[in-house]
Amino acid sequence: MSFAVAILGRPNVGKSTLFNRLVGRRLALVDDTPGLTRDRRHGEGHIADLAFSVIDTAGLEEAPPASLPGRMRAQTERALAAADVALLLIDAREGLTEADRHFGAWLRASGKPVVLVANKAEGRATLPGIGEAYRLGLGDPVPISAEHGEGMALLYERLAPFERAPADAPVADKPLQLAIVGRPNVGKSTLANRLLGEERLLTGPEAGITRDAIAVDWEWRGRPIRLVDTAGLRRKSRVEAGLEGLAIADAWRAIRFAETVILVLDALQPLERQDLTIGRLVADEGRSIVLAASKWDAVGDRGAARKQIEERLQVSLPQLAGVAVVPVSGLTGLGLDALMAAVVAAHAVWNRRVPTADLNRWLEAMQDRHPPPLVAGRRLRLRYVTQVNTRPPSFALFASKPGELPDSYRRYLVNALRQDFALPGTPIRLMLRKGKNPYEGR
């Protein structure tokens, strides 16, 4: 990608639709509700053979700096500063508005190259709106339909001059995919900003500010990481249809594509039922997980708070026994190095492989210590175990009658695997199979 393009414009002119069109998939949430996008989102865009970085932004609005729309505009201004060229979108159906004129003048004053794009330009009825666009003094408008993919060839011609020859650079390691999840207003975006070292994500006292799952490429001690901030996850019974449903669906997509998940807890209200539900769902997805006890700077009796969290985990999330719990504060920066060290360690456990010979010596010892139960007067035979996959660690256990093995004995084996092979805090999958030991007779 040789240059960066920022998509700007007033609310509801189709910026996120164009973003999705350029990146070739539905990354940004799209709805008729104005102001849906709040943070800036990056993607890898292309038109034919022209590749570039593309940034979706919140709708430009005049507002006091401390207000939510004002903070959204500050994010858009940062996107403009990071871009090589701006695409100013207007709605060709509605024609030029006072807001379009105001922000057109602002972009002219910025000195940044601007390409004027007249979106929703389907049919002859939009010709007057396209004609009015010349009044902005930003050159010829490019008529397109982001929804239907029309006009992309004209946009290609206007963006092609900004292409630069890529500089020679070593190929970076594949980034660790890291998602930050939790209930609304527990400090996810504040924590992400502190990790990134900048006000990259929109924050504030209002619950539910984050809507899109925002991915940011970043490095921690030289290790590439793709950090994804997500919308707050509430109980299904409290989720309103429409925008909140879209935001939560986007958050779950981020979890499914993640490798490691930071579950942020409010240390002042630790481990509520929804926290445990999110933890179970992340474990069911097979992702490695680290718990971040946020707002730790405001906790009075820290020893009691830590003990309460650990005891609740032991009872309510036994499938994640040994998961790291790291006290952090997004406001002060407390515990961030310890948090990222725990993330890297959890990711390593998630990728750990245990030799087959060690596993079968272990299985023999487990059966000697606690033999499998009798079924119809005959003892179940556990013949052989092997690791069939990592990410998360997954094992196949071959037994004489796998369907008869009680869940209690299966949990006994999983807990022993976790303890004896140093697999703390990661989901472990143990699949039962009926079959013959492939090494028998060798």
- Can you list the domains of the chain with their CATH numbers? 4-162 (3.40.50.300), 176-350 (3.40.50.300), 356-434 (3.30.300.20)
- What was the pLDDT predicted at 49? 85
Question: What residues contact residue 364 under an 8 Å CB cut-off, 6+ apart?
Answer: none
Cβ proximity of 291 and 382 under 8 Å: no
Angle at 162 between CA 156 and CA 167, to 5 degrees: 120
In angstroms, the CA 210 to CA 66 distance is 17
- What was the pLDDT predicted at 92? 92
Token digits of residue 95? 């024609």
Cβ proximity of 175 and 226 under 8 Å: yes
- Long-range contact list for 111-114, CB < 8 A, 24+ apart? 112/80, 112/83, 112/85, 112/86, 113/84, 113/85, 113/86, 113/162, 114/85, 114/86, 114/87, 114/88, 114/138, 114/139
Number of other residues whose CB lies within 10 A of the CB of residue 322: 14
Amino acid 426 reads: T
- What was the pLDDT predicted at 364? 93
Number of other residues whose CB lies within 10 A of the CB of residue 145: 21
Does a cis peptide bond (omega within 30 degrees of 0) precede residue 161?
no
Amino acid 92 reads: A
pLDDT single digits (tens) 399-438:
888 888 899 999 999 999 999 999 999 999 999 988 655 5
In angstroms, the CA 2 to CA 4 distance is 7
Three-class secondary structure of residue 298 per DSSP: helix
- What was the pLDDT predicted at 1? 44
Q: Profile the chain (442 residues) by mean pLDDT over runs of 10 residues.
A: 83 89 75 56 87 84 62 75 89 90 86 90 87 88 92 91 59 81 89 86 60 80 91 71 67 88 93 92 94 94 92 92 94 93 95 92 93 83 90 92 89 94 94 69 56
Residue matched to tokens 């976790």? 418
Three-class secondary structure of residue 438 per DSSP: coil
